[in-house]
Chain A
Amino acid sequence: MERKTKVNAEDNTQELQIVREFDLPLELLFKAYAEPEIVEQWMGTKVLKLENKNHGGYQFETTDPKGNKHRFNGVIHEFVSNEKITRTFEMENTPFDVQLEFLTFEKLTEDTSKLTMHVLYKSTEVRNQILALPFAQGINMAHNRIQDIVSKLK
């Protein structure tokens, strides 16, 4: 399987790159980012606001397995259909500073396309903390499950 998501995060930098080639025409790939109902499906999030235009904004909301709601928002600096989205991204009510994202959409063939996400963080430390998040969350979820099981035994 060659068509996999690649993440490049060099040591001691405050940026990273996520690159993915899709088995989809460019227009369909871009649509997945532009249409709120479609964003909701693949991001697993509710779209509260999505203004696809220069100087627009967006806000998403996810619900975790415990029912807690988490919101994300940002400002869309530049929006060019089938070409690029430049935006900020911020997790609300977390200590993480806002990040800047450059999304570039490219046509490879009639049926394939490529997305490059270039993300800039406030510092190397912030980047590394955010990189570690999915693993930490997985561990916490497993830990909570253990606690549930153990408390049932008592």
Chain B
Amino acid sequence: MNLRRDVFQAIADPTRRAILILVASQSMTAGAIASNFDTARPTVSKHLQILTECELLEQEQNGREISYHINAKKMKEVADFIEPFRTMWDDRFNKLENIMKIYQDKK
């Protein structure tokens, strides 16, 4: 159960979603992935670590370098799921609740 929650946390971040798209077609080294972003290299490494921990990415040792490729099975599990839809409504309703609490206090 915990693992599942981690997966959705992982894809909630736009940079991590961008990484998933980058490596969707080919496996890439950390350096090659990082060169696609303005973000500092350690930040990208952190994103890669999170994606690997929740099994969306898999590591492969090639000599001295580690390359990353997508775990298609795990990705499908995520894409099939209704969580992004639920999150969208949850965000909206959280906003509604906050706005109406402020409204109530003003009265």
User: Given the complex, which residues of A lie within 8 Å of B89, measured CB to CB?
Assistant: 5, 7, 18, 20
Minimum C-beta distance from A101 to chain B (A)? 13
The closest CB in chain A to the CB of B107 belongs to A28
User: Given the complex, which residues of B lie within 8 Å of A146, measured CB to CB?
Assistant: 18, 21-22, 36
Contact B36 A150 (CB under 8 A): yes
Minimum C-beta distance from A33 to chain B (A)? 9
Q: How many residues on B have C-beta within 8 angstroms of the other chain's C-beta atoms?
A: 31
Contact A142 B96 (CB under 8 A): no
Instruction: Contacts A141-B14, A146-B22 given; indicate if A42 touches B82 (C-beta within 8 A).
Output: no
Contact A7 B85 (CB under 8 A): yes
Within 8 A of A (CB), among B58-96: 78-79, 82, 84-90, 92-93, 95-96
Contact B100 A24 (CB under 8 A): yes
User: Given the complex, which residues of A lie within 8 Å of B53, measured CB to CB?
Assistant: none
Contact B100 A139 (CB under 8 A): no
| Contact code string A92-121 (vs B, CB < 8 Å = 1, else 0) | 000000000000000000000001000000
Chain B binding surface SS class: helix
A24→B93 CA distance, assembly (Å): 11
User: Given the complex, which residues of B lie within 8 Å of A29, measured CB to CB?
Assistant: 96, 100
Contact partner, A28, options B14, B21, B82, B104, Cβ 8 Å? B104
Within 8 A of B (CB), among A6-60: 6-7, 9, 18, 20, 22-25, 28-29, 31-32, 38, 41-44
Contact A142 B93 (CB under 8 A): no
A139→B93 CA distance, assembly (Å): 23
Contact A143 B18 (CB under 8 A): yes
Query: Does residue A138 face the partner (Cβ distance < 8 Å to B)?
Result: yes
Minimum C-beta distance from B86 to chain A (A)? 4
Instruction: Contacts A24-B100, A150-B36 given; indicate if A131 touches B18 (C-beta within 8 A).
Output: no
Within 8 A of A (CB), among B1-49: 11, 14-15, 17-18, 21-22, 35-38
A5-B89, A139-B17, A146-B22 given; 15 more Cβ-contact pairs under 8 Å: A5-B86, A5-B90, A7-B82, A20-B89, A23-B97, A42-B96, A43-B92, A132-B79, A134-B85, A138-B11, A142-B17, A142-B18, A143-B18, A145-B18, A146-B36
Q: Which 6 A-B pairs have the closest CB atoms?
A: A142-B17, A134-B84, A5-B90, A135-B84, A42-B96, A142-B18
